[in-house]
Amino acid sequence: MTMAYSKTTKAKWNNEIPDKEEIRGIKLRALLNTAAQIFNERGYHRTTLDHVSERLGVTKPTLYYYIKNKEDILFQCSRMALSDMHDALQAVSDQTRTGRERLDDLMSQYFDLVITDFGTCLVKCDVHAFSAENQNILLQARRQIDDAVQEIIRHGIEDGSIADCNPRLTTFAIFGAYNWVCHWYDKDGSMSAEDIKESFMSFMTNGLGPR
């Protein structure tokens, strides 16, 4: 007698073995991680899919199971970093805290993001390397981040935790300073990431503190 299994049958291998979609996600993440490292080492325009496939130890045609082209890789790397930044904004959305407390927490998280491979890709990437559609998506996401930080600064000005300043220019100045870190930061250098972050936070504290 053949046993009939219903849709409620126990999951195969007790969910201990990743399914095809999970395996695909793992491989895609490995591809993106590797490509981001190479983009940051060689520059986007000097990187080819051959460089990526060679470092991954797979054939170039294999990459096309996971991505459309080189632009698609950079776009997905940038989206990963923007997703992390969105999470950071959500984490500091509590308006019962002072604007300064929220800004400090946000920029601490942003510093950590900037020195990651995905964060560096986002900062260094030239939006003109993307199609018009992808440009609009990334630029809109960046504007949303700028607007959110400006709102936090306004909150700080109103509650007295941040000195009176132009929120828009202050946002540009902060991101300009933090974004430049990925151009010169050396993880094997004489200063640790924590030491550098502490110095940056101190500069910001002294510059934005109420007089």
- The per-residue pLDDT for range 65-81, each reduced to its tens digit, is 999 999 999 999 999 99
Which range (3-12, 32-41, 104-113) has the least confidence? 3-12
- The per-residue pLDDT for range 129-143, each reduced to its tens digit, is 899 999 999 999 999
Question: How far is it, in rounded angstroms, from Cα 164 to Cα 125?
Answer: 33
Please, are residues 77 and 39 in contact by the beta-carbon 8 Å criterion? yes
Nearest to 122 by CA among 45, 39, 29, 34: 39
What the block records as the tokens of 196 is 């550098």
Q: What is the mean pLDDT of the chain?
A: 89
Domains along the sequence of the chain with CATH: 71-208 (1.10.357.10)
Q: Residue 59: its pLDDT value, please? A: 95
Please, are residues 149 and 92 in contact by the beta-carbon 8 Å criterion? no
Q: What's the gap between Cα 35 and its chain centre?
A: 15
What the block records as the tokens of 56 is 């991954």
Please, are residues 142 and 134 in contact by the beta-carbon 8 Å criterion? no
Contacts of 199 (CB under 8 A, 6+ apart): none
Contacts of 80 (CB under 8 A, 6+ apart): 32, 118
Q: Exposed, middle or buried: residue 96 (CB in 10 Å: 0-12, 13-18, 19+)? A: exposed
Please, are residues 88 and 104 in contact by the beta-carbon 8 Å criterion? no
Which range (6-10, 78-82, 167-171, 184-188) has the least confidence? 6-10
Q: Exposed, middle or buried: residue 108 (CB in 10 Å: 0-12, 13-18, 19+)? A: middle
User: What is the pTM for the complete model shown?
Assistant: 0.83
Contacts of 189 (CB under 8 A, 6+ apart): none
